[in-house]
Amino acid sequence: MTRRTPNVDIVHEDLLLIHPEDAGRHNIAEADWVCIESARGKVDIRAHLSDEVKPGVLSDVSLPRTPGQPHYLRCA
């Protein structure tokens, strides 16, 4: 995905990409709703298990967002 391609043409909902090892450690299954929280707020988002992200890294695939919001979040 690039900023030139409307994400809505690729995905139809926001997704949290999480490595299967991390998901297993936190009892998260494919399509589970998870809550991601930071100092800026929190969001409920569906999990998508993927080895496209490294263990310990969370990545969101989102519909258009406000500039300046982070694209990657670190697992604790």
Among the listed ranges 2-6, 8-12, 42-46, 69-73, which one has the minimum average pLDDT value? 69-73
Q: Is residue 70 part of a domain?
A: no
Within a domain: residue 60?
no
40 domain residue, yes or no: yes
Residue 29 falls inside a structural domain:
yes
Judge whether 61 lies within some domain: no
Q: Tell me: the pLDDT tens digits for 58-69?
A: 888 765 555 555
Reduce the DSSP state of residue 17 to 3 states and report it. strand
- Flag whether the pTM goes above 0.85: no
Give the Cα separation of 62 and 41 in Å (integer): 16
Give me the domain span that covers residue 45: 14-49
Query: Is residue 45 situated within a structural domain?
Result: yes
Q: Tell me the pLDDT tens digit for each residue of 33-49.
A: 998 888 888 888 999 99
The domain total for the chain is 1
Contacts of 7 (CB under 8 A, 6+ apart): 1, 61, 62, 63, 64
